[in-house]
Amino acid sequence: MSKEFEPLCFDKNLKFKIMAVGDIHEKYVPDDKTEDFLRLINRALDELKPDLAVLMGDIVSGHFKNSQGEEQDLSVEQLREEVQRIIKPFAERNVPLALTFGNHDGEGGKPKEPLLALFQEYPNFRNIDTPDITGCGTCNLLVKDSTCDKDVFNIWLIDSGDRAPAGRGKYAYVETDQIKWCERVSNRLKAQNGGKSVPSLVFQHIPVTEEYQLLKKTSRFHPYAVRGNSWHDKDCYVLDKKKATGYLGEGPCTPDYNNGQFASWKKQGDVIGAFFGHDHMNDFVGKVDGITLGQCKCSGFHIYGDGLRQGVRMITLDENDLWRFETKMHRYRDFFGTKCNSIKGYMLLSDRFHTIFERALKIIIPAVAIATIGTLIFYWLK
């Protein structure tokens, strides 16, 4: 039985604000990192006041280490504790909430439907699970105009899967049946809108392969070079500043196989932008063939990150021009500076720099020890 919701509507100022919350990776046992994440989300909700929040996947861990140090799956009740901890800031403010599942949410072949059901216990949670298509939680949400009378904008929430089948690379891609379903819904909305496409945004975890068109190859000695991922790992890249703005902290972890999702967007003509999680450090945004592709940096602290640049991305729609939008990252540092429980000292540096520092220490400390011992032996023999 479907729930009845208050409609999503543009406000009296003709704006509709979406908060995209990047990878959280919450753990069962809360700690300082949990506290930092909740501090970020509470402040962001209070200051930015979104009309809808979207969790961008890789939301919770479905296992924990028991007292013997062994990995153990969470029970439904334990998983509910994790989910309710994440939902609480949104529920306290009655913010409409939606999600798109990530590759870790169904890790190990676990079904995602029980996790979706736990989120659906929040009365203002908006996902449904469209039947008879691949994945879980894939659906679309319609936004009405400021009179709450007419549907004027569409939001796609797509389950992008986890691992690709053998022979097609590492990460999954949106399947053909999902693409065809989106096209059917897109065509129906167009027909209901007098033959005009309804402008839309896509939210999904794994980015499309076309993101690499926002980068350019460079030397591995370039100070801002990152190595590509999977089938791109023989090359190094930097952001092409003629095409994109923001930060490239790691090679995009896109699928290797292109199943035509982006081509479908171009054919349908309704998608004006798509936003992704998955890559914890990236927050660049740029256009490929007129469609905005944007990364949402991670918001959680239990994973590798970028020196207190965890944050949320705001996307602001304007009823006066539904084919354009504004977007901006709001980072932990912007709200709190360097006041943080779980990240201190050199860890405040970008991940790429403190990783280099850690590697250097692993080389320098043994080298100094060997040199010291060698010097002592030399003087002892002398």
Closest to 213 in 3D by CA, of 258, 244, 257, 246: 244
In this predicted structure, the answer to whether residue 373 has a pLDDT above a threshold of 90 is no
The C-alpha angle 310, 28, 351, rounded to 5 degrees, equals 30
Hey, how many other C-beta atoms are within 10 angstroms of the C-beta on 327? 18
370 CB-near residues (< 8 Å, 6+ apart) = none
HSE-CB at 141 with a 13 A cutoff on CA atoms is: 28
- Looking at the predicted structure, is the pLDDT value of residue 55 above 50? yes
pTM of the model: 0.90
pLDDT exceeds cutoff 60 at 351: no
1 — pLDDT class (breaks 50, 70, 90): very low
CATH classification (class only), 8-341: alpha beta
Q: What is the mean pLDDT of residues 350-375?
A: 66
pLDDT at 67 over 80: no
Q: What per-residue confidence (pLDDT) applies to 362?
A: 61
* Residue range 255-279: mean pLDDT, rounded: 98
In 3D space, the residue among 239, 236, 240 whose CA is nearest the CA of residue 221 turns out to be 236
pLDDT of residue 203: 99
Does residue 169 register a pLDDT over 70? yes
Domain boundary assignment for the chain: 8-341, 349-382
Give the pLDDT of residue 353: 56
Give tens-digit pLDDT for 107-165: 756 789 999 999 999 999 999 999 999 999 999 999 999 999 999 999 999 999 999 99
